[in-house]
Amino acid sequence: MPKVSIIVPVYNVEKYIRNCLDSIRNQTFTDWECILVDDGSTDKSGAICDEYAVADTRIKAIHKTNGGVATARQTGVDAAMGEYLIHADPDDYVEPEMLDEMIAEIQRQRVDILVVDFYCEKDCGAIELKKQTFSGSTSKDLAEEILLQRLHGSLCNKIVRQSCYKSANPHFYPGVDYCEDVLIWVQMSKSDLSVGYLPKAYYHYVQHEESITGNFTRSTLETCKKYIGKLCSLVPEDSSEVRLSKEMVKYNAFCSQILSDKEMKELFPEIKTYSKCYFYLKPIYRIGYCGHQRRAHRYLSTFYSAISHLKTILHLNRPM
């Protein structure tokens, strides 16, 4: 049995997956398995998975019909044999000492889950260290911090004992391919799991133009609605965590300019003219795009509360 299982969902990433897999094979810690779940790729991704599986017996390639990243992750979790589980996305990469140091630390702290910092990297090459300072100690604390946008919700900068997946029994929801990882942490919060933190970064989260989190489309909006629906089944709908999640979806929908004027008025009754508001809110959108979503959300909320006092100046109170 391998010490750790690395789960990688794969779909049409032929341009990036070699870099990801090479970084995994270059780990200084060698007792691992990597489970590649090809989710019905239509490019050469599946063939590349098979190529690496032949070259390294620690790599296993699973091919399935397309069902979305949530089902791909679930397939990987179900197949995992390691004592510990960690996820990686196929267009990202990791530092050579990641597994070595994370496994040593989770054992030293004697916790169920270990959170670490990560790097946020853009196509242009700009790299930013994302500190994940976590002062809590339980899975409930972790889920709350994630839902309140204080911590990144990704599975990729956290290593988990596989026994947690058995005791807490979290699962991915088919069709919910946006924030699917957040729902795992919410489900784990129902069990009394211990969480530790190591202030060091190993994972490079690369933001590509075509990624689902970097390209908010109408399809993404529909997926977000499914996420909110599942979240409301796990967390009280009137909680601050759910309200903030809803606001962030509204914020992303606004910034992407995918909504009609009618939809804008339904989501934002305080706004009378979409185009004029977008002109004034564009700087806030840029702040969010640069990775400061929480700051952008705070500015956006302030703008909404001030709109009633600015109607005359911005001429937003004229009849349509």
Residue 188, burial from CB neighbour count under 10 angstroms (0-12, 13-18, 19+)? buried
Note down the domain range covering 249. Answer: 218-314
What number is the average pLDDT over the span 262-269?
A: 70
Closest CA to 199 of 258, 273, 115, 137: 115
Per-residue pLDDT tens over the stretch 60-118: 999 999 999 999 999 999 999 999 999 999 999 999 999 999 999 999 999 999 999 99
**Residue after which a domain boundary falls, among 180, 207, 234:** 207
Residue 213 within any structural domain of the chain = no
Residue 123 within any structural domain of the chain = yes
Give yes or no: residues 149 and 285 share one domain. no
Per-residue pLDDT tens over the stretch 192-218: 999 999 999 999 999 876 554 457 788
Residue 135 within any structural domain of the chain = yes
Q: Are 44 and 63 in contact (CB under 8 A)?
A: no
Residue 320 within any structural domain of the chain = no
Give yes or no: residues 185 and 261 share one domain. no
Give yes or no: residues 137 and 53 share one domain. yes
Give yes or no: residues 169 and 299 share one domain. no
Per-residue pLDDT tens over the stretch 239-263: 888 888 887 787 777 777 787 777 7
Give yes or no: residues 277 and 194 share one domain. no
Q: Are 157 and 118 in contact (CB under 8 A)?
A: yes
Whole-angstrom distance, CA of residue 15 vs CA of residue 18: 8
**Residue after which a domain boundary falls, among 207, 242, 275:** 207
**Residue after which a domain boundary falls, among 163, 178, 207:** 207
Give yes or no: residues 160 and 34 share one domain. yes
Give yes or no: residues 63 and 199 share one domain. yes
Give yes or no: residues 14 and 160 share one domain. yes
Whole-angstrom distance, CA of residue 244 vs CA of residue 238: 10
Residue 127 within any structural domain of the chain = yes
pTM confidence score: 0.83
For the chain, what is the mean pLDDT?
Answer: 86
Going by pLDDT thresholds of 50, 70 and 90, the confidence category of residue 289 is very low
Give yes or no: residues 272 and 309 share one domain. yes
Residue 68 within any structural domain of the chain = yes
> CATH no. for residue 27?
3.90.550.10
Give yes or no: residues 35 and 97 share one domain. yes
Give yes or no: residues 62 and 152 share one domain. yes
Whole-angstrom distance, CA of residue 219 vs CA of residue 192: 36
Closest CA to 160 of 237, 236, 73: 73
How many domains would you assign to the chain? 2
Q: What are phi and psi of 301, to 5 degrees?
A: -60, -40
> CA 276 from chain center: how many Å?
32
Q: Are 295 and 251 in contact (CB under 8 A)?
A: no
Residue 281 within any structural domain of the chain = yes
